[in-house]
Chain A
Amino acid sequence: MSILETSKSLVREGLRIGFDETACKLVYDRMVMVKFSGEPTVTQSWADVCVHMYLAKNGRIILCDYRTLDVERVKHRLIDLYRSASSIEASSIYAPLPEPRRINPLHLVDERIVDLVEGRRNPIDYAWIMIEEAVDEGADNYAGILLAKSSSKALATSEGVELQEDSTEFECYLRAFSRDGVGQWSYGGRMLDECNVREVGRRAGVYAYLSRNPEPIEPGVYDVALSPMVVGNIVNVIGEMASALQVYLGLSFLSRFKPGDRVASEIVSIEDDGMTNSLPRSTSFDDEGMPTRITTIISGGVFESLLHNSKTASKFNTESTGNAGWVRPEPWNLKFKPGDLGEDELPSTLSDGLILTNNWYTRLQSYVDGLFSTVTRDAAFRVRDGKIEKAIKGLRITGKLHEFLSSIEHATDRCYQIKWWEVETPVLAPYIVARGIHVSKPM
């Protein structure tokens, strides 16, 4: 039986048992990942089937994830869950599943990635292409991963949605070391292009080499240029907070704003894009069968829209943006709109400032107030009079998210597809320049 037929049969079974609505998303994944640190540390491969189900009865919502192909076992569980459904109250966000909509299929498969997944090409050879680029730029050690994935998903709902989609995904990132200098770069996409693999190694290697002999600097208030890796990390936080469920749960600084409010400088436009097929999480339909689209979260500094599924849309009295998650809307791919600054012009925008190329561990004192800090890692530079003066280390950016966004003055004209351990939702990001940023370190 095809995965779509299996999904449909489970939807029928849910209805037969007595649920008012059911939906079933069945996903078959094949994935291979090379992980290395100086040498291969492990090669991992996965073959996985997951049955995701949405079940509703009188406004009660039950979600299930069963990593099994044992359909009879899943059906058996549905009977037990039906009993459970009657013992709780209706969900505060319940709204019915939507009617089927017209879906424009996307071409999301790159056969070169399928070859990697199926073992017809060796992923570790690609990893070494990336590594050699870093070494050529001066790296003396390196660590990172290269991932190839192929997926098939089928969606059926009790409202009549019947959809299927195949996709591939590719991700690589490399952290390069050159003595005490460190640089990191990443790439994520639906397609495999050797140029992107080489660029990850090259940029990591260049930053590692340039950041040798880093020195501490004094904490204070600085103008900063942030690389797409840093922009990707912070935009990830903002994208997650743009999920309407996060606002509903008090886990978003956007809960203190309403559409039309200014939350950033004019240079800041952030979109969620589910439909551009080169981006790694693009898909033609969401978990409710709604078409994905481009949703503007912030436009020219003005808060425009949250990300919705049908349930949160109903709760917030608006329309779905095609970001289901049956309960939690999720961003697909986030995009920070490029500006018109050339990358080589970046230092000249900083008379006395810093260039920060990577960060991690962004944490919040208060989600609703957006009070945050994040730790720099890898290459960072002090800039004086528009010129890089020296490599620096050991810093932390602190601030309030909307004040940080309001301080952004420039974006460069080229964006990079960033995805790695600290940028879980892919981000298409340029370099940006922000003014008056608080920088701290241990005293």
Chain B
Amino acid sequence: MLARCARCPDLEDKLEAIVDEARRLGASYSEARIQRNIVVSISSRNGIPIKVDERIDEGLAIRVLVDGALGFSSTNSMDDESISKCIDYALSTARASSKYMRRPICFSKARLGSVRYEVKEKESFDAHDISDKFSLHKSIYSMLRDTVKNVELEIFSAEYMEMIEEKLIVNSDGGFVSSRIPRLSLRYNIILRDPIKGSIQRINEYGFSGGLEKFREQHIDENIIEESRRLEKVLLESVKPPSGIVDVVVGSEVASLIVHESCGHPCEADRILGREAAQAGLSFIKPSMKGARIGSIHATVVDDPTIPGSFGFYLYDDECVAAGEKYLYREGVIEGFLHNRWTAYVFGVESNGSARALNYRSEPIVRMSNTYLTPGDYSLEELIEGIRDGVYISSYMEWNIDDERWNQRYVGLEAYRIIGGELREPVRNPILEITTSDFYSKIDAKGCDLRFEAGLCGKGEPMQGIPVWFGSPDVRLRHVKLGVHTL
């Protein structure tokens, strides 16, 4: 961990001195963070390497409140002169902003941690060399070639990524956090092609916190192979989906994304207050809407960074506030928002530990971690049994949502017709174009199997792509108007 780094035994003292110096120079609040992200990735196409990447991202971030304005400055030159300039930039730019402030920025009181924690890998990244890690690309490609027999496997490209994120944070309110979190992911792209039926493309990602054991435990190679077998069938046998009003089983993968986009994002308190209005947008949720109904009794969504092994794992946020489970929607009612200390102050609540920064060049902002719809008690078969005429959408490629998180669209990739409670032939590109309240109101049953997807969630300026999980069981929606590509 950073504080125990042999090269810099005095890092903690240095950060405390920076925090004190910023306060001495006029900051009502100061915070110093050293963050090191070490990333190694390997990319390939059709089982042959393209390149190996290594990235070491290490530097200092300082954040101050001066005369009610917020200043942030970062540098990766750790000499005294550079650090002194960094403090000065943070203070002087904040001071220059203060004359334009309408409402001074304040931070809520919070119970701040003074802790060290780390995620220990069972199988560390150092335990295997590059060739071992690359062998995953080769073996998946080889298995795909053995599996995909009736169409052309045009491309299988993949990127393996491992990252160790280390943070040391000190702030003037007494917060101290030292953390180390290893993460790994595999992102892949498969294109299957048939001379008559055309092509089908699948891009997907697996991601975890932990060590190399995660890939093995999750059988990701087997999952990819099984999926390719099904996609081959979709490409060859799919028919046009029904375009009328039908019942839909939205598979876990699709529902997970919907929950992330239409509950997680609109519940970010900084978005509700308009801080991201010119970038990631606003929220249909207004500050007064806490307690408003958004869906059926099945609509319960939680954000929880403390799930072991999750891609969005952390125990304390980057303002040193303890993280935990937060209910965003509970039984169809808007219950809570994701807060940092500034939004918590504005809303008159305590921060719930949602401030995250991607790297030392990033200010901590309100982010999701692992956001999921709570499971019910149906099996997938039982969800399908209850449908006379409908569609099961298992996966997607295209999706988007408006900047208030209301009007959204998901286009199914692997999807099947349901008739008389039975799964039938695959259908091609069914379109679920729906509003947020329609989605949550039309859920009448949920599966018991909660599954998670991994992704990098984009927000902030400059953009911060933060690792998150989004999860859901399969869910059943009643009376949905499905769209069909008119192309």
| B is a partner of A | yes
Interface residues of A (CB under 8 A from B): 32-49, 60-69, 77, 81, 84-85, 87-93, 119, 122, 124, 128, 141, 143-145, 173-175, 177, 184, 248-251, 327, 360-369, 371-375, 377, 394, 396, 398-400, 403, 421, 438, 440-443
- The residue on B at minimum CB distance from A41 is B275
Given contacts A42-B363, A44-B72, A250-B157, contact A37 B275 (CB under 8 A): yes
Given contacts A49-B76, A250-B189, A366-B201, contact A175 B155 (CB under 8 A): no
Q: How far is the CA of A174 from the CA of B277 in the complex (A)?
A: 10
- The residue on A at minimum CB distance from B75 is A47
Q: How far is the CA of A65 from the CA of B37 in the complex (A)?
A: 11
Instruction: Determine if B53 and A64 form an interchain contact, defined as CB atoms under 8 angstroms apart.
Output: yes
Q: Which of A45, A61, A88, A360 touches B130 (beta carbons < 8 Å)?
A: A88
For A361, list chain B residues within 8 Å (CB): 400-402
Q: How far is the CA of A409 from the CA of B256 in the complex (A)?
A: 40
What is the CB-to-nearest-CB distance from B47 to chain A, in angstroms, rounded to a whole number? 9
Q: How far is the CA of A97 from the CA of B310 in the complex (A)?
A: 41
What is the CB-to-nearest-CB distance from B487 to chain A, in angstroms, rounded to a whole number? 6
Q: Check B85 for interface membership: any CB of A closer than 8 A.
A: yes
Q: Check B313 for interface membership: any CB of A closer than 8 A.
A: no
Q: Which of B76, B92, B273 touches A69 (beta carbons < 8 Å)?
A: B76
Q: How far is the CA of A320 from the CA of B474 in the complex (A)?
A: 49
Q: Which of A47, A85, A327, A377 touches B281 (beta carbons < 8 Å)?
A: A377
Instruction: Determine if A145 and B461 form an interchain contact, defined as CB atoms under 8 angstroms apart.
Output: yes
Q: Check B327 for interface membership: any CB of A closer than 8 A.
A: no
What is the CB-to-nearest-CB distance from B400 to chain A, in angstroms, rounded to a whole number? 4
Residue of A32, A44, A369, A443 with most partner-chain B CB within 10 A: A44
For B429, list chain A residues within 8 Å (CB): 365, 371
- The residue on B at minimum CB distance from A87 is B131
Residue of B58, B411, B461, B486 with most partner-chain A CB within 10 A: B461
Q: Check B215 for interface membership: any CB of A closer than 8 A.
A: no
Q: How far is the CA of A44 from the CA of B69 in the complex (A)?
A: 11
Instruction: Determine if B398 and A37 form an interchain contact, defined as CB atoms under 8 angstroms apart.
Output: no
Q: How far is the CA of A122 from the CA of B99 in the complex (A)?
A: 12
Instruction: Determine if A44 and B45 form an interchain contact, defined as CB atoms under 8 angstroms apart.
Output: no
28 A–B contacts from the bound complex (CB under 8 Å):
A34-B97, A40-B97, A42-B71, A44-B72, A45-B71, A46-B75, A47-B73, A62-B52, A62-B54, A63-B51, A64-B54, A68-B58, A68-B76, A84-B129, A88-B52, A88-B134, A119-B92, A119-B93, A249-B155, A250-B189, A251-B189, A360-B400, A361-B400, A363-B398, A377-B281, A403-B487, A421-B461, A440-B431
What is the CB-to-nearest-CB distance from B290 to chain A, in angstroms, rounded to a whole number? 21
Q: Which of A39, A45, A365 touches B411 (beta carbons < 8 Å)?
A: A365
Known contacts A77-B54, A440-B431, then 10 further A-B pairs from the complex at CB < 8 Å, ordered by chain A residue: A38-B274, A42-B70, A64-B56, A88-B130, A124-B96, A145-B278, A360-B281, A368-B199, A374-B400, A375-B400
Q: How far is the CA of A77 from the CA of B58 in the complex (A)?
A: 15
Instruction: Determine if A438 and B400 form an interchain contact, defined as CB atoms under 8 angstroms apart.
Output: no
For A61, list chain B residues within 8 Å (CB): 49-52
Q: How far is the CA of A61 from the CA of B42 in the complex (A)?
A: 10
Q: Which of B92, B274, B278 touches A174 (beta carbons < 8 Å)?
A: B278
Looking at B15-23, B370-378, B432-440, B449-457, the stretch in contact with chain A turns out to be B432-440
Chain B stretch 408-454: residues in CB contact (< 8 A) with chain A: 408-409, 411, 413, 429, 431, 433-435, 438
For A49, list chain B residues within 8 Å (CB): 76-77
Q: How far is the CA of A68 from the CA of B79 in the complex (A)?
A: 12
For B77, list chain A residues within 8 Å (CB): 47, 49, 69
For B486, list chain A residues within 8 Å (CB): 438
Q: How far is the CA of A41 from the CA of B98 in the complex (A)?
A: 10
- The residue on A at minimum CB distance from B135 is A88
Q: Check B101 for interface membership: any CB of A closer than 8 A.
A: yes
What is the CB-to-nearest-CB distance from B198 to chain A, in angstroms, rounded to a whole number? 7
Q: How far is the CA of A181 from the CA of B270 in the complex (A)?
A: 21
Given contacts A81-B54, A443-B483, contact A48 B76 (CB under 8 A): yes
Q: Check B86 for interface membership: any CB of A closer than 8 A.
A: yes
Q: How far is the CA of A374 from the CA of B408 in the complex (A)?
A: 11
- The residue on B at minimum CB distance from A250 is B155
What is the CB-to-nearest-CB distance from A82 to chain B, in angstroms, rounded to a whole number? 12
For A396, list chain B residues within 8 Å (CB): 400, 407, 409, 433
Q: How far is the CA of A442 from the CA of B405 in the complex (A)?
A: 13
For A42, list chain B residues within 8 Å (CB): 70-72, 363
Q: How far is the CA of A37 from the CA of B276 in the complex (A)?
A: 8
For A364, list chain B residues within 8 Å (CB): 397-398
For B462, list chain A residues within 8 Å (CB): 33
Q: How far is the CA of A71 from the CA of B409 in the complex (A)?
A: 49
Q: How far is the CA of A364 from the CA of B400 in the complex (A)?
A: 10
For A442, list chain B residues within 8 Å (CB): 407-409, 433-435, 438
Q: How far is the CA of A40 from the CA of B72 in the complex (A)?
A: 12
Q: Which of A64, A91, A143, A250 touches B55 (beta carbons < 8 Å)?
A: A64
Give 1 or 0 for each of B473-487: 1 = CB within 8 Å of chain A CB: 000000001010111
Q: How far is the CA of A265 from the CA of B381 in the complex (A)?
A: 49
Given contacts A47-B86, A64-B53, A443-B433, contact A37 B274 (CB under 8 A): yes
For B186, list chain A residues within 8 Å (CB): none
Q: How far is the CA of A365 from the CA of B201 in the complex (A)?
A: 8
Instruction: Determine if B433 and A441 form an interchain contact, defined as CB atoms under 8 angstroms apart.
Output: yes
Instruction: Determine if B55 and A87 form an interchain contact, defined as CB atoms under 8 angstroms apart.
Output: no
For A144, list chain B residues within 8 Å (CB): 278
What is the CB-to-nearest-CB distance from A58 to chain B, in angstroms, rounded to a whole number? 12
Instruction: Determine if A37 and B71 form an interchain contact, defined as CB atoms under 8 angstroms apart.
Output: no
What is the CB-to-nearest-CB distance from A128 to chain B, in angstroms, rounded to a whole number? 7
For B369, list chain A residues within 8 Å (CB): none
- The residue on B at minimum CB distance from A176 is B278
For B102, list chain A residues within 8 Å (CB): 38-39
Instruction: Determine if A65 and B56 form an interchain contact, defined as CB atoms under 8 angstroms apart.
Output: yes
Q: Check B399 for interface membership: any CB of A closer than 8 A.
A: yes
Q: Check B82 for interface membership: any CB of A closer than 8 A.
A: yes
Given contacts A327-B51, A375-B402, A403-B487, contact A43 B278 (CB under 8 A): no
For A400, list chain B residues within 8 Å (CB): 487
What is the CB-to-nearest-CB distance from B316 to chain A, in angstroms, rounded to a whole number? 22
Q: Which of B131, B189, B278, B481 touches A173 (beta carbons < 8 Å)?
A: B278
- The residue on A at minimum CB distance from B129 is A87
Q: Which of A91, A141, A399 touches B49 (beta carbons < 8 Å)?
A: A91
Residue of B42, B134, B280, B407 with most partner-chain A CB within 10 A: B407
For B379, list chain A residues within 8 Å (CB): none
Residue of A35, A66, A91, A403 with most partner-chain B CB within 10 A: A35
- The residue on B at minimum CB distance from A186 is B278
For B94, list chain A residues within 8 Å (CB): 43
